[in-house]
Structure 1
Amino acid sequence: MPVGELGEALRDLVDAAVRTEVDDDELRAVAAAARELTARLRAHGREITEVARVDDPDTGERWYSPVYGPGSPVAPPLVASDSPDGRATGRVTVGKPHEGPPGLVHGGVVATLLDHVLARAVRAAGRGGLTSTLTVRYRRPVRLGVPLVLSAEIGESSGRRTTATARLVAEDDPDTVLAEAEGLFVSLRPERAASVFAHMDRPAGAWTASSDA
């Protein structure tokens, strides 16, 4: 899909931009070219509150997600999957654009990746909701350029509340936990959901539905 093709090209551009050491004149020339491309894309856009036509908010799949979206220039991107028993996995190699300390993945990015697989596990089990609390424990430094694996599974469910746990490991060392997380997700009451997502022209079931709310 062209959205994904553009996203891939822009991720390459972002990576090049944060690693380049070209001279100032070349930087200015590239900046001018980038502004021209920006103007072309802005010729037909959506408002900040509008949902992209390629998204499916009822299932939670979003092409421009900053975590895994194929069309997002800032996504690592994470490749994730899930199963109806409330489990989710993700694979990702994080590069220079998401660097914190030199050579290491930014801690906020680690938390974001964990939050996503937690939420995905909850949705897979038929439980909607937004993140209410997220507790992350950083066990080891997470290095750039290393294939990583995330796994999550649903915990207890009661009414609108659902818990889940997740862990992050290096693909070549699955027994060493680099980071782990616990999350609490709460589905919105219908009246609250109507207010929060009033701008949407499609259902927001991924964040509002709950099997026994």
Structure 2
Amino acid sequence: MAELMPEERAVRRDAVGALGSALRDLLDAAVRTEVPVDELAAATEVARQLAGRLRADSRGLHDIASVDDPETGERWYSPVYGPGNPVAPPMVATDSPDGRATGRVTLGKPHEGPPGLVHGGVVATLLDHVLARALRAAGRGGLTATLTVTYRRPVRLGIPLIATAEMGATDGRRTTATARLVAEDDPSTTLAEAEGLFVALRPERAADVFAPTGRDVAAWTTRR
């Protein structure tokens, strides 16, 4: 797959984000609908036709999307924040070189566990992402080795949430970090918190792990 020029990638990212937004609306409608069975059958046929159109030119399972940047770790189809991924909320995340990250997100019906509440696995995924993002921002890329999540309160659907993370101690290729999830309108109450241990890959190991992509993937190695 040929790499896009910056201007081309920007145009494609806009189109990918627009499709992702439309598909998120469709996903929300699909998990909330109570239309008659014949209407479900008609919608199923339309969905299959759309899938066929999108598969007319698709990448392989291990290929990196043309809109991605493997050097920085930005994934346009990330299941957490990817604008093009219909299962992503998507979280809006920021970070800083001192090893801190913040993510803002509102979760709806597609991410429900118990009625009216966010699935615990989704909460863990959000915390894992801001933890890893904080480390990458500080040049301490790596893969999650351990993740311990403590659930303090039920996390309700439909309310703006804020996840924050901060890098901890570093020992060679191993780095710890902590994260916290709160409701935007009640930041003093912790809904969930996490501790993570991340291990940066040696360059040669990263080259082996990501060999199927056929690309130089540097975001998951230690860069300083």
State the TM bucket, normalised to the shorter chain. over 0.9
CA RMSD of aligned residues (A): 0.7
- Name 2:10's counterpart in structure 1: none
- Name 2:134's counterpart in structure 1: 121
Q: Size of the alignment, in residue pairs?
A: 211
SS of residue paired to 1:53: coil
Amino acid at match of 2:165: A
> Is 1:203 matched up with 2:216?
yes
- 1:20-169 matches, within 5 Å, as 20-169=33-182
- Name 2:7's counterpart in structure 1: none
CA contact 1:67–1:116 (8 Å) conserved in 2: yes
CA contact 1:129–1:210 (8 Å) conserved in 2: no
Query: Distance between the aligned counterparts of 1:147 and 1:8, measured in 2?
Result: 18
SS of residue paired to 1:37: helix
Query: Distance between the aligned counterparts of 2:141 and 2:27, measured in 1?
Result: 33
CA contact 1:187–1:210 (8 Å) conserved in 2: no
Instruction: Flag structure 2 segments of 5+ consecutive residues without an equivalent.
Output: 1-13
Amino acid at match of 1:133: T
Amino acid at match of 2:145: S
Query: Distance between the aligned counterparts of 1:84 and 1:194, measured in 2?
Result: 25
Amino acid at match of 1:194: A
> Is 1:9 matched up with 2:22?
yes
CA contact 2:117–2:157 (8 Å) conserved in 1: yes
Amino acid at match of 2:171: S
Amino acid at match of 1:109: V
SS of residue paired to 2:79: coil
Distance 1:72 1:94, change over 3 A: same
Amino acid at match of 2:52: A
Amino acid at match of 1:141: P
SS of residue paired to 2:105: strand
**CA deviation map 1:123-168 (0-9, x unaligned):** 0111110000000000000000010001000000111011100000
C-alpha deviation, 1:194, in angstroms: 1.8
**CA deviation map 1:41-71 (0-9, x unaligned):** 0000000010000000110100000000000
Query: Distance between the aligned counterparts of 1:201 and 1:193, measured in 2?
Result: 12
State the TM-score, normalized to the length of structure 2: 0.93
SS of residue paired to 1:115: helix
Query: Distance between the aligned counterparts of 2:149 and 2:171, measured in 1?
Result: 22
Query: Distance between the aligned counterparts of 1:192 and 1:65, measured in 2?
Result: 23
CA contact 1:58–1:202 (8 Å) conserved in 2: no
C-alpha deviation, 1:114, in angstroms: 0.1
CA contact 1:88–1:121 (8 Å) conserved in 2: yes
C-alpha deviation, 1:210, in angstroms: 3.8
Q: Work out the percentage of aligned pairs sharing the same amino acid.
A: 75
